[in-house]
Structure 1
Amino acid sequence: MNKIDISKLFFTIGLTCFPLLGFAAEPLKQAGKTTLYQRVLSTPSCQLKSNFTDSKGKSVPAFSRYYVYERKYENNQKWLKVGPDSFGKTIGWINDSCAIDWNMQMTLVFTNPVDREPLLFFKDKADLTKIVDAENPETLLKPIRDALKSNKSVSQVLAQEPKEYVDFKSNFYLLPILQGEEVMNGQGFYERVLEVASLSKQDELVKKGSSNSQSNDKASNQTPFNAAIVFVIDSTISMDPYISRTREAVKRVYKKIEKEHLQDQVKFGLVSFRSSLKTSKKLEFVSKIFVDPNQVKSKDSFLKASASLKQAKVSTAYFAEDAFAGINQALNEINWDNFSARYIILITDASAIPGDDKLSSTKMDAAQLRLEAQHKGVAIYALHLKTANGIKDHPIAKAQYSDLTFNDFIHKSLYYPVNAGNVQQFGQKVDLLAEALSTQVKLAYKGEVSVGSALNSKDENADMIKDALLLSKAMQLAYLGDTKGAKAPTVFKAWIADKDFVKPTIPTAEPRILLTKSQLSDLSDVVSKIANAANDGLISADDMFSQLRSVAAAMGQDPSKLKSDSVTKIADLGLLGEYLDNIPYKSDVTGLDQDAWKSMSGLEQEKFIRNLNSKIRYYQKCNADVDRWISLSEGSDPRENVYPIPLEMLP
């Protein structure tokens, strides 16, 4: 038997087995990046070929996101070897001419067009810039708008946004940002001029001949316009008069709608909240649904179900109550899908227990609940009873509820104070609000459009009624968009402005960054480390930045670089992932340096930390939300699914 050199055998086996071990190829990196891969979006003309020399290929869904594994130049053409994800799986070749580089994984979401003109997609940047720079843009816009209203083509404009609201959540579309810059317009306001690409997912269905039938089916199955108005009311000590007056307001509105046989179109609900049972079991509940709008049939059934609600018999531990528990329960335990217009009216005389307090049952703050309400299409009002006992609490409550009630349809807060907690004044407000919302439902149901005479009223409640009417119109646009299957216009590369030309404070579209699970997990981990360092920094600012430098070094940053005098801000430490590089937003966190932290008061520092903790809880909620993760290409690994994160939730 021949002797065998064992070392040579192992070397041979190693060479033979390496391919079998599945060491996957890696996509090409973006220029200057160490963790970001090259990505492209396919266009309608793309064909996927097993080899770039093939004469024919397979059509692929437009706006599929592909990772680039190889680039070749053959016969005066550029070819890309692509895969649906970054885990080594390639599926063929596409021609570079039909693909769009998408290095910044961001998309835009249309705002509700209720109080602005439809967004215009311009062929050339120069034509858009001319209008943006104009002191009186109306002069340049009028001939364009007039031509489009007459269904005439306009050479400068490729398309315009639909009149109805295009719901990103129910009718997903991509409006990828390719490049852009922030400019000051001719009226002195800052806005962004952006190059985007656009293709609605439904346009793929048109090619297959199924979109029209689906839209028609949706329209035929759509329920008539209706609304749910849910009161979320504080029921701690001293609240009985307001509870009774709210019941009275609902009773009055019900009489009117039942007289017109519209009780099936307007439903009322009632949720109440108190505070943590940890301090006293005698409080009975933290929050509780007394009336579900899906179950109430009439005025009598509402009054019967709500009759048991009385104010608490014992005091709570804080002046603040767990208002966020009531809002959270109303948002997540009531089925809003059955209603076209969705409203919550918060009634309280106190601020809400913040999410990082030990007595908070939700661990959420106003910003997270506002985003949850936006996701569900629910508008939140707040009637804040400014009683004499809570005078020190009033500024806290105003700040919280102004944030909670900021409405992205009409771009303002729906926060309304009731001076001195006057029961008569409160009753007038709740009567007007409930009646205004239900009247708009009646008009929409009958196919009428009216904003009423309240717009010119000099009454102290005129602003509240004006907001209610404008919001009702926005809800109708959202309902019509859903009924008609409104979708993003089919254009290709185009230039847009992210603010209305005539009303430059109103956004036409808002950005979302699309993060994978690993990126979101990484972001949550890094923000937690910054929050922990900031807690140490309450004692010593030097300790905070020393700890952050240690974290950065542990993450692989060059220790010598971290000691450089040029590294003074959190952004310079390299803590945040490259996926946030070049994102067009301003951050209080990344721009913070040691001197700025030292100059902040203790209250400002604590607010900074609360804000970080609030964002961490939002990331955790997103990560657990299996229904909202989106696949951007067929056959991609689920780990590459993305979640649309609003820029305000970035650190």
Structure 2
Amino acid sequence: MNRWIGLGLAAALAALPMVASGQSLLDQLEGTAGHAPPSPGLSALEGTHGHEPAAPEEPILCAEGQVCIEEATQLPLRVLPRPFSHVYADRNADPAGIRIANVPSFHPLYVFERQDLDLSDAADPAGWYRVGRTRAEADGWMQARDVLEWRQALLVSYTHPGGPIEGRNPVLMFRDYRDLAGLVDDFDMAGRARALYRAIDDGDAPEQVVSMEPQRFVDITRQFYVLPILEWEQTQIDGDDARLLQIAAAVPGARGADTLDAAEYREQARVARVDGAAERRSDLQADIVFVIDTTRSMQPFIDMTRDAVASTAARFRRMTDDRVRFGLVTFRDSIEVIPQLEYDTRNWTPELVDSATLAERLEDEVRATEVGSLDYAEEVFAGVDTALQSQWRDGALRFMILIGDASSHPKGHPQNITGKDEIDLRRELDDAQVHLHAIHLLDPRATEDHPIAEPQFRHLARIRGSRDESAYDSVDAFDDRAFYGLIDSVANGLIERLATTAGEHEPVADEELPPLETLTTVDRLWEAALVEYLGRSANPPKDIVAWVLDRDLVHPVDRALDVRVLVTREQLSSLAQALDQVVQALMRAEVTQAQFFEALQSVSGQAMKRPEDLGQARDLAGTGLLPAFIQSLPYRSDILSLNDEMFASMTTEQRSQLEWSILAKLEQYRAINEQVDAWFRMNDADRDRDMVYPLHLDYLP
């Protein structure tokens, strides 16, 4: 194994790799429209992988009465208290001088001062930290042996585990690095891991396993927890990079170590992901939003969708009245390019409605346009983006049914009005817990568009927790019977599964209605949504330090952990302001034929403390324009390597796509900032400005 300990230390950003023959430069920047590169996850983290020693400790600046700052990153220095630790009034571990007893484990504290530190013996460090729960003032002193320095706000989150049969296994948390490393190095890693899971299922927790992720999914964007990365080591499993991570575990506002020795935690962690009849939930609801292309030739499909909704009302009268609400978003093309289209997207249901109301609107109001487009592609991405902003009900399972016969304009195209593509929207669908089923109408007269549209539709319809499976179905656009059967099976299939799960009576029978076809794609989509819903009752482990693998121990191809970075609103805002200036510079350079850095200096120079850094920088990372915390993170970012030579070599289309990529991130930052419930307090005493959001690495520039 190649080992690199000390993730908390600053690491150099990767240089942009050489451009392979036949590969566009932009492919190496952000990925191109029409295909989805793999999520970077932990593979995006930088490191020396054991070939070089860890970097020396960055200087810490501590001013009287103020929080200590890391000089290189300008981030406040924080520590994570170990279990059963105390804050003392003075630098004296006298029980009589305890100011705060039994500080919450692994809840970050700000450092105001460091005295007499000697960290040469990691097992028994000496010295003291003056700490505080807020930036405003210090609370007292903690011994160095009682805390862990946490330099970067990197943490991991559990991935969606998938279903109970084909999904991944829960993360096992090992007491000691050597136990996990020995397992990973074993030729029969999968067999040994299965034995550990069997022992846990039998109630006989293995000595080397301190705790375990619950079988049920705990979504960090809904149930906030903290898994800071303390150390890590890279290895390879079957030729694929994997990482062993030492993590701490904390849940704000909760106390007590959750180990497999604790009966209460062990029992809740072992509760099955989905448990058949035991999971009949009387409070279960579902929201279903249709996203429909209303360009020319789509009127028959609009009518058949209306009939399918009417079929839903006939089959499930009580269900659709009480439990199900519907939405409708239609899309066409850019009205800036073709004003006669009247709209690019329209939300016909500002508030979600019942099935009868939806059928009426499909009958009376929604019509396909008679105006033609400039090309075959439409604004599919804009339709999905608008539908994401629907007034979803709290607690309801959320579904979209996308119906279209054409691809969407890629990022950077003049008719792409959102600046987003299927990759951007898939991230937003996941964060919003919205599950999309795509119905692709295949027009035999447009076969050249099918290879473009299908990857877009498939990626949008990717089933959470699966390896490569999508809720994607295609049908001949001239086979009306086949389309009606498909839309009927999708819409009614979701509600039938709702009825079964909720323990409702059998659906109302109607001899005139054809039998409902069972679709595997609907089964898998429902299962993924139900796993999320049932996971709300699970509690993640807390107050432990352990070693974990970022992959499934039995099936290492499945990623078990994703990397995130905690950002405050202030940090997100400063990042957005910097990226906005980068976009302005890209646009100005394109118009004036200036070099990129020359344009960047004209746009940003007055806003910078040291504008001369722009002229001396070799790449965007060296300009000092972007927030220091971004440059301190040990992850690969090719955009930060942008320089004059690279910009000069890009085509007009590549520059446009780069602009749209950054604009899409800016739009995502805005949406995150406006989500009131998405921001969390690490400590109860934190002010609003110190609230944090677990930003996925994919959202970084």
CA distance in 1, matches of 2:222, 2:496: 27
What is the aligned partner in structure 2 of residue 622 from structure 1? 672
Q: Does 1:166 align with 2:218?
A: yes
Relative distance call for 1:157 and 1:385 in structure 2 (3 A) is same
Cα contact 2:253–2:683 (8 A) shared by 1: no
Task: Note the alpha carbon deviations across 1:37-65, whole angstroms, 9 max, x for none.
Answer: 32112344233344344523224444332
What is the aligned partner in structure 2 of residue 199 from structure 1? 250
Relative distance call for 1:354 and 1:599 in structure 2 (3 A) is closer
Q: Which amino acid aligns with 2:100?
A: K
What is the aligned partner in structure 2 of residue 27 from structure 1? 67
What is the aligned partner in structure 2 of residue 4 from structure 1? none
Cα contact 2:420–2:660 (8 A) shared by 1: no
Of 113, 136, 159 in structure 2, the residue corresponding to residue 70 of structure 1 is 113
Q: Does 1:334 align with 2:391?
A: yes
How far 1:392 moved relative to its partner? 5.7
Cα contact 1:48–1:94 (8 A) shared by 2: yes
Relative distance call for 1:534 and 1:261 in structure 2 (3 A) is closer
What is the aligned partner in structure 2 of residue 18 from structure 1? none
How far 1:333 moved relative to its partner? 3.0
How far 1:232 moved relative to its partner? 1.2
CA distance in 2, matches of 1:262, 1:625: 29
What is the aligned partner in structure 2 of residue 608 from structure 1? 658
Q: Which amino acid aligns with 1:345?
A: I
- Secondary structure (helix, strand or coil) at the match of 1:57 reads strand
How far 1:135 moved relative to its partner? 4.6
What is the aligned partner in structure 1 of residue 526 from structure 2? 472
Task: Note the alpha carbon deviations across 1:442-481, whole angstroms, 9 max, x for none.
Answer: 3322399xxxxxxxxxxxxx9x944432332222222222
Cα contact 2:256–2:542 (8 A) shared by 1: no
Cα contact 2:174–2:548 (8 A) shared by 1: yes
Cα contact 1:240–1:310 (8 A) shared by 2: yes
What is the aligned partner in structure 2 of residue 543 from structure 1? 595
What is the aligned partner in structure 1 of residue 180 from structure 2? 128
- Using the size of structure 1 for normalisation, the TM-score is 0.79
Of 564, 568, 579 in structure 2, the residue corresponding to residue 527 of structure 1 is 579
The total of aligned residue pairs comes to: 595
CA distance in 1, matches of 2:614, 2:649: 26
Q: Which amino acid aligns with 1:36?
A: L
Q: Does 1:426 align with 2:465?
A: no
CA distance in 2, matches of 1:74, 1:592: 40
Q: Does 1:271 align with 2:329?
A: yes
After superposition, where does 1:381-400 map in structure 2 within 5 Å?
381-387=437-443, 394=450, 397-398=453-454, 400=456
Higher normalized contact order (CA 8 Å, seq sep 6+, divided by chain length): 2
CA distance in 2, matches of 1:335, 1:539: 42
What is the aligned partner in structure 2 of residue 444 from structure 1? 501
Q: Which amino acid aligns with 1:142?
A: R
CA distance in 2, matches of 1:56, 1:342: 50
Which of the pair is proportionally richer in helix? 1
CA distance in 2, matches of 1:275, 1:530: 28
CA distance in 2, matches of 1:531, 1:246: 41
CA distance in 2, matches of 1:285, 1:556: 45
How far 1:71 moved relative to its partner? 1.9
Cα contact 2:327–2:390 (8 A) shared by 1: no
Task: Note the alpha carbon deviations across 1:484-513, whole angstroms, 9 max, x for none.
Answer: 3x1111351111112212333322121211
Cα contact 2:106–2:248 (8 A) shared by 1: no
What is the aligned partner in structure 2 of residue 416 from structure 1? 472
- Secondary structure (helix, strand or coil) at the match of 1:225 reads coil
What is the aligned partner in structure 2 of residue 10 from structure 1? none
Task: Note the alpha carbon deviations across 1:200-235, whole angstroms, 9 max, x for none.
Answer: 23633999xxx99xx9xxx99975333232211112
Relative distance call for 1:416 and 1:170 in structure 2 (3 A) is closer
CA distance in 2, matches of 1:586, 1:384: 36
Relative distance call for 1:24 and 1:328 in structure 2 (3 A) is farther
CA distance in 1, matches of 2:633, 2:303: 50
Relative distance call for 1:271 and 1:553 in structure 2 (3 A) is closer
What is the aligned partner in structure 1 of residue 150 from structure 2? 102
Task: Note the alpha carbon deviations across 1:578-600, whole angstroms, 9 max, x for none.
Answer: 32345353323124455555555
Q: Does 1:380 align with 2:436?
A: yes
Q: Which amino acid aligns with 2:197?
A: R
Cα contact 1:232–1:326 (8 A) shared by 2: yes
Relative distance call for 1:594 and 1:560 in structure 2 (3 A) is closer
After superposition, where does 1:298-317 map in structure 2 within 5 Å?
300-308=356-364, 309-315=366-372
Cα contact 2:412–2:656 (8 A) shared by 1: no
Task: Note the alpha carbon deviations across 1:360-401, whole angstroms, 9 max, x for none.
Answer: 665655444433322321112222334356556555544544
What is the aligned partner in structure 2 of residue 247 from structure 1? 306
CA distance in 2, matches of 1:415, 1:261: 24
- Secondary structure (helix, strand or coil) at the match of 1:336 reads coil
Gaps of 5+ in 1: 1-22, 449-461
Relative distance call for 1:571 and 1:398 in structure 2 (3 A) is farther
* Range that drifts further, 318-327 or 118-127: 318-327
Q: Which amino acid aligns with 2:137?
A: K
Q: Which amino acid aligns with 1:64?
A: H
Q: Does 1:579 align with 2:629?
A: yes
Relative distance call for 1:77 and 1:172 in structure 2 (3 A) is same
After superposition, where does 1:487-506 map in structure 2 within 5 Å?
487-506=539-558
After superposition, where does 1:338-357 map in structure 2 within 5 Å?
338-339=395-396, 341-352=397-408
How far 1:529 moved relative to its partner? 3.4
CA distance in 1, matches of 2:350, 2:361: 9
Cα contact 1:552–1:573 (8 A) shared by 2: no
Q: Does 1:47 align with 2:86?
A: yes
After superposition, where does 1:183-194 map in structure 2 within 5 Å?
183-185=235-237, 187-194=238-245
CA distance in 2, matches of 1:279, 1:615: 24
How far 1:109 moved relative to its partner? 1.7
Cα contact 2:597–2:614 (8 A) shared by 1: no
CA distance in 2, matches of 1:411, 1:293: 34
Q: Which amino acid aligns with 1:56?
A: I
Of 170, 193, 196 in structure 2, the residue corresponding to residue 144 of structure 1 is 196
Of 67, 79, 82 in structure 1, the residue corresponding to residue 131 of structure 2 is 82
CA distance in 2, matches of 1:306, 1:147: 56
Cα contact 2:73–2:632 (8 A) shared by 1: no
Task: Note the alpha carbon deviations across 1:526-561, whole angstroms, 9 max, x for none.
Answer: 323333444456589981255558889885679699
How far 1:246 moved relative to its partner? 1.8
Q: Which amino acid aligns with 1:117?
A: N
Cα contact 1:41–1:62 (8 A) shared by 2: yes
Relative distance call for 1:553 and 1:52 in structure 2 (3 A) is same
Cα contact 2:595–2:648 (8 A) shared by 1: no
- Using the size of structure 2 for normalisation, the TM-score is 0.74
Task: Note the alpha carbon deviations across 1:599-624, whole angstroms, 9 max, x for none.
Answer: 55443333222212211222233334
Cα contact 1:241–1:423 (8 A) shared by 2: no
Q: Does 1:235 align with 2:294?
A: yes
How far 1:265 moved relative to its partner? 4.5
How far 1:307 moved relative to its partner? 1.7
Cα contact 1:380–1:414 (8 A) shared by 2: no
Between structure 1 and structure 2, the one with the greater Rg is 1
After superposition, where does 1:506-521 map in structure 2 within 5 Å?
506-521=558-573
CA distance in 1, matches of 2:695, 2:593: 30
RMSD, matched Cα: 4.0
Gaps of 5+ in 2: 1-62, 119-124, 259-263, 269-277, 506-516
* Range that drifts further, 67-76 or 428-437: 67-76
CA distance in 1, matches of 2:438, 2:72: 47
